[in-house]
Structure 1
């Protein structure tokens, strides 16, 4: 029997169904309901028991190819995260990529790798489930509430994670702030559900609105909102669904969100270590100044912001843009300079955080060299860890 329901308590124990006025809030925070109609997501209810072992207690989040749930492992008596994948190649890519990382990367202490896996049957397919240690919120949602010192620690820890991955010959290909997770202090053994919900928030949920009856019950659920006392300052790099060995040509051309994506990837150049480092530099800037260097949900708009901030793209890229939409010929005009109010210096000056003039100059020096358009000119993870400016910036916060 694959699933069941914990009937030991009344349904109210497992959170609260919202009224119609609040359903929009749940729908905005949850995964697209139509993907259940399409048979892609696996329907889950809070309180459900999977494979007679994992009791689902809350929602953690979702992605394009998965939903992620907090569950209690009734065998080992600890809380875990269950990543329930959509059927098909993306699930198997992540599964095989994690196995590859586990066997080729020497230091995986800052990488989120699955501990166990199992399959859930559905009417016409099956869903792979990856079991992970339970971690907290992402850097995207939580970093702004951390101290400057904690954010700098996040930057260093993430860089160490990337170096370990690269030292093992692996390119992540999807580094962005949503794939970097803070630690979560585990609950003591025997902690009851009421206490957990006091620290995580009670699940706010609704029945999945679908166009046709589903083959099993399921709920849309607002993710946890952990109390700040639970969130640790350790960070872990996650989501290896696009990861590959370096120098590997891949059919899956996925990429991080446009504002984190290296410009060469919009010009027919295969991703490599340097592409990961561009993504890292975008996160580093966000941690230092409190906002994204670039804007735009599509490549064209993100590239436009890059040029306005950093100047023209390499002339040799002219004619090779493949990011979708019409490119702007002026991107490659070598006589064009950055917009004065959009330069790195101008953005660093507008930092939302209190950093000294010396620190601002260190940040500028790091970004200037890390955001070189040509991949071969960018600092590697190992080089940046040993870089004088980076070390001085970290040392100013005792790191």
Structure 2
């Protein structure tokens, strides 16, 4: 259990922003967890990141105190709002239109989604002037850790199924407003976190880990920036609330002005129709959701990726061949003709029922049947046949599973 020191016993720490690396081992630790240095090099990428250092104040308001993480199009920082006296997450977008799209779709969510209680929407947005350019910044409530398969072993089934229900409710609210997420994966799903804004920075560092940082190497930058090892949120600071965030690829399906950014979820979470050039749809989100449900319920993915051809081969072994008319439409390299061979049959050892029995062995046979029922009606190749978020929330098998765990 991590103890947070009493605020009254802490010294003034206005100049303490962690430690610079002192040796090669610490440099390796930072490099393994931070974004690659070349993400900041405009000569290597047109979507260069904005260099940031701990201790600087953005927009005359947000004091950067720690690093939360990074993605393909942004870095995310923990900051203290000097005006409202609370901690926030600062998402600094790379160059390009990604930031504009995320602000636009966030506005659509705020205006049109009736229930945003489990959806992470921005509190503020502004532009940071760069080197002959600008970067969009979005300010969010500070959230807890993202979903992590390897950290689920110590979480109760009640906690995991509560997260599954809250995520599905968030997705239903999004879909009712005509918005498809398009990038539902474990990094965009997160728990809440106990607020630390009433504590000195040294107490936050004791709870979350002192920042380990180094000056961004090898790039001649126009301002100083740092690579920083991200926070580690301890279990005692995690709350039971579960949220959906990161709408950089989201799209409002019935709005012709909605920008369609190129991109897919990671292969493990992407529906096979998307990987064959089909348009984004609510059904694609539902496939991705059911993968997350599987991770939460079984603490294992529904399909193995350890075959020639990767995750698609795992799907085919579990569900049978892909539709024959999809042959030649696969959007990624490495497709196999055998995926579309209609004479092939599923491998019983890789089927949904077998994986549920193997990884959900603690459940009784009736519960396993309920889990198989909902998985098999979402993991279907035809998007039109998949259960919607509303249908799944009302499904007797889904309700029975939730009732078993008081969710």
Fold conserved between structures, TM > 0.5: yes
From 374, 379, 395, give the equivalent of 2:382: 374
Structure 1 counterpart of 2:130: 122
Contact 1:247 1:272 in 2 (8 A): no
**TM-score after normalising by structure 2:** 0.90
1:346 aligns with 2:349: no
From 290, 293, 309, give the equivalent of 1:281: 290
- Cα distance in structure 2, aligned partners of 1:299 and 1:218: 42
From 238, 244, 258, give the equivalent of 1:237: 244
Deviations along 1:224-259, one digit per CA (max 9) or x if unpaired, are: 111211101111100111111125686533110011
1:33 aligns with 2:37: yes
Structure 1 counterpart of 2:27: 23
**TM-score after normalising by structure 1:** 0.92
Structure 2 counterpart of 1:91: 99
> SS of 2:294's equivalent?
helix
Structure 2 counterpart of 1:178: 187
From 69, 81, 91, give the equivalent of 2:77: 69
- Cα distance in structure 2, aligned partners of 1:392 and 1:340: 26
Shift in alpha-carbon separation, 1:248–1:254, aligned structure 2, 3 A? farther
Structure 2 counterpart of 1:226: 233
Matches of residues 200-349 of structure 1 in structure 2 within 5 Å? Answer: 200-210=208-218, 212-246=219-253, 251-296=260-305, 300-321=309-330, 323-349=331-357
1:42 Cα deviation from its structure 2 partner? 1.1
- Cα distance in structure 1, aligned partners of 2:299 and 2:195: 29
> SS of 1:303's equivalent?
helix
**RMSD over aligned Cα atoms:** 2.1
1:217 Cα deviation from its structure 2 partner? 1.4
From 382, 388, 399, give the equivalent of 1:391: 399
1:296 Cα deviation from its structure 2 partner? 4.8
Runs of 4+ with deviation above 4 angstroms: 8-11, 247-251, 295-300
Aligned length: 388
From 344, 369, 375, give the equivalent of 1:361: 369
> SS of 1:350's equivalent?
helix
> SS of 1:341's equivalent?
helix
- Cα distance in structure 1, aligned partners of 2:17 and 2:369: 51
Deviations along 1:329-366, one digit per CA (max 9) or x if unpaired, are: 22112221122321112211221773333322221111
